[in-house]
């Protein structure tokens, strides 16, 4: 899946794509047709960079309810001819998840559409999982025949059915079908369940693949062979060295870290860093200067894992470097530095935004560090990242950091965060939003009463308000 196009943050579409609370608030005041068009655009063209991690479905479902939006556009998308050719889950997963939430809110049209798609659509397994959480037994039993008809009755088809049963995220439909009074349904499902259990047992008993020999050199060779096959094995290889290497092997490991093959060098650097070897920091610096891209990445990763005072002190000197090691030093200080390192962390944060933009992976750690160290001067940068990033998870981290650094947060971003797409961000808002705003009190009470809301959010809400009291 290609990175989606994200509209500017100041537009209604851009706000909704990011899952920001202001997206909902703006949509509710915009012309309804315009708001629904932007909402459908988001649901039918998943805007998430990582659709397996970021949340949007409940956020969009709630907005459909608030706008009294229909599901006709979702239906056209699900049953488009493209469904037969593009079977990737990312094409239809968000739409199906939104329908699932709508069904949980009592929308019959969403439930019926899920049933139809589970019977005929390519991403039927996702639809079936949504129904497993929301549909009644009768509705699920009616899907047994069309779902089983997808699998041929020959050996290959039965193997595919067994794999589908084994890998099902929600087992409820299959359990119902295993008890179906129709023998041709129940017998086939039970056989698939047994085959899936046997296959799982076989996979657990099967060897995990090639293993290194019982010597330092054999471990290095195994790591190099992995690289040549396109598989980075230096992390498990370093763990093997813990069991294999003794004090007498240290010179050989140091030599490998200095000028060994790629696999050996990566493994040695990781092992020496994890064991806090006194030469590890110097070897890491040399590897960054002379190593290949693979070695540099392994060296930087090994450095960031170090917990020693010496590593933190070295990071204070490296943070000014304009390379991968300098960026890693900034992240280390963000995680493990002291208050005296606040200016260095702030400088690394500003440099990352200037050089790589508001979606740079390094910002996750730096934003957390700004909040951990309480860097008040970082608030303007954090607010900028909050507005512009396309990552709802990074925005949530900004919200947490702003709660610790920005005195205006309770009356500012915390209010809109009550409508955010991420539960962790809503929880932060529920704990900090200033309740002098009537919208905040009403929203807190709505979240407390919403059965679809996460427990952590509702706990935070109830810590602020009682059933008949004003919010605190």
Of 379-388, 411-420, 429-438, give the lowest mean pLDDT range.
429-438
- Is the distance from CB of 6 to CB of 17 less than 8 angstroms? yes
Q: How many CB atoms lie under 10 A from the CB of residue 172?
A: 16
Sign of the CA dihedral running 273, 276, 280, 284: positive
Average pLDDT, the chain: 92
| Whether pLDDT at 213 is above 70 | no
Contacts of 421 (CB under 8 A, 6+ apart): 19, 20, 54, 55, 56, 58, 59, 392
Residue 167's pLDDT band (boundaries 50, 70, 90)?
confident
pLDDT at 467: 55
Q: Which of 231, 151, 163, 153 shows the shortest CA–CA distance to 202?
A: 163
pLDDT at 88: 87
Q: Could you tell me the CA-to-CA distances from 381 to 68, 112, 333, 425 in Å, in that order?
A: 37, 47, 18, 18
pLDDT at 347: 96
Residue-wise pLDDT for 443-469, tens only, equals 999 999 999 999 999 999 998 876 554
| Whether pLDDT at 471 is above 50 | no
- Is the distance from CB of 60 to CB of 43 less than 8 angstroms? yes
Q: What are phi and psi of 3, to 5 degrees?
A: -60, 130
User: In terms of C-beta density within 10 A (0-12 exposed, 13-18 middle, 19 or more buried), how is residue 329 classed?
Assistant: buried
Query: In angstroms, rounded to a whole number, what is the distance separating the alpha carbons of residues 57 and 454?
Result: 13
Name the pTM for this structure: 0.89
Q: Which of 299, 292, 356 shows the shortest CA–CA distance to 322?
A: 356
| Whether pLDDT at 195 is above 90 | no
Question: Containing H/E element for 420?
Answer: none
How large a percentage of the chain has pLDDT more than 90?
82
Distance in Å from the first CA to the final CA of the chain:
45
DSSP string, 292-358: -HHHHHHHHHHHHH--SHHHHHHHHHHTT-SSHHHHHHHHHHHHH--GGGHHHHHHHHHHHHHHH-T
| Whether pLDDT at 16 is above 90 | yes
In the block, residue with structure tokens 């047709």? 33
- Is the distance from CB of 392 to CB of 55 less than 8 angstroms? yes
Q: Could you tell me the CA-to-CA distances from 89 to 19, 96, 124, 125, 172 in Å, in that order?
A: 20, 10, 10, 10, 21
Q: What is the mean pLDDT of residues 184-202?
A: 75
Residues in the chain: 472
Residue 193's pLDDT band (boundaries 50, 70, 90)?
confident
The SS3 assignment for 47 reads coil
User: In terms of C-beta density within 10 A (0-12 exposed, 13-18 middle, 19 or more buried), how is residue 364 classed?
Assistant: middle
Q: Long-range CB contacts (< 8 A, 24+ apart) of 7-12?
A: 9/387, 9/388, 12/38
Q: What is the mean pLDDT of residues 203-230?
A: 76
Q: What is the mean pLDDT of residues 178-196?
A: 88
Q: What is the mean pLDDT of residues 51-61?
A: 92
Q: What are phi and psi of 78, to 5 degrees?
A: -65, -40
| Whether pLDDT at 256 is above 90 | yes
């Amino acid at each position: 899946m290609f990175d989606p196009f994200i509209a500017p943050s100041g537009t209604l579409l851009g706000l909704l794509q990011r899952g920001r609370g202001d997206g909902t608030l703006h949509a509710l005041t915009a012309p309804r047709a315009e708001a629904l068009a932007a909402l459908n655009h988001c649901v039918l063209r998943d805007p998430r960079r990582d659709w397996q991690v970021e949340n949007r479905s409940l956020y969009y479902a709630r907005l459909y309810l608030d706008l009294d939006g229909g599901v006709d556009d979702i239906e056209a998308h699900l049953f488009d001819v493209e469904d037969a050719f593009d079977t990737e889950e990312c094409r239809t997963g968000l739409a199906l998840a939104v329908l699932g939430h709508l069904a949980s809110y009592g929308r019959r049209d969403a439930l019926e559409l899920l049933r139809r798609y589970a019977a005929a659509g390519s991403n039927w397994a996702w639809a079936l999982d949504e129904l497993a959480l929301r549909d009644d037994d009768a509705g699920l039993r009616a899907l047994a025949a069309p779902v089983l008809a997808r699998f041929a009755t020959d050996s290959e088809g039965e193997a595919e059915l067994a794999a589908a049963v084994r890998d099902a995220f929600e087992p409820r439909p299959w359990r119902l079908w295993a008890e179906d009074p129709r023998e041709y349904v129940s017998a086939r499902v039970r056989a698939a369940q047994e085959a899936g259990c046997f296959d799982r047992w076989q996979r657990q008993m099967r060897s995990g693949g090639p293993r290194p020999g019982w010597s330092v050199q054999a471990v290095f060779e195994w790591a190099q062979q992995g690289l040549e096959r396109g598989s980075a094995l230096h992390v498990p290889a370093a763990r093997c060295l813990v069991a294999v290497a003794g004090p007498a092997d240290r010179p050989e490991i140091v030599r490998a870290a200095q000028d060994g093959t790629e696999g050996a060098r990566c493994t040695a650097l990781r092992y020496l860093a994890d064991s806090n070897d006194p030469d590890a920091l110097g070897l890491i610096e040399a590897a960054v200067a002379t190593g290949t891209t693979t070695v540099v990445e392994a060296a930087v990763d090994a450095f960031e894992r170090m917990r020693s005072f010496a590593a933190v002190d070295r990071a204070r000197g490296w943070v000014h470097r304009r390379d991968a090691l300098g960026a890693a030093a900034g992240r280390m200080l963000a995680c493990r530095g002291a208050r005296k390192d606040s200016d260095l962390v702030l400088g690394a944060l500003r440099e990352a935004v200037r050089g790589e933009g508001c979606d740079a992976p390094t910002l996750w750690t730096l934003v957390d560090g700004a909040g951990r160290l309480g860097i008040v001067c970082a608030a303007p940068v954090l607010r900028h990242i909050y507005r512009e990033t396309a990552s709802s998870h990074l925005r949530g981290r900004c919200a947490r950091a702003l709660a610790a650094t920005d005195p205006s947060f309770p009356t500012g971003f915390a209010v809109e965060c009550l409508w955010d797409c991420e539960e962790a961000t809503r929880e932060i808002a529920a704990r900090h939003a200033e309740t002098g705003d009537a919208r905040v009190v009403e929203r807190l009470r709505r979240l407390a009463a919403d059965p679809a809301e996460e427990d952590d959010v509702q706990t935070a809400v109830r810590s602020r308000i009682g059933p008949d009291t004003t919010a605190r």
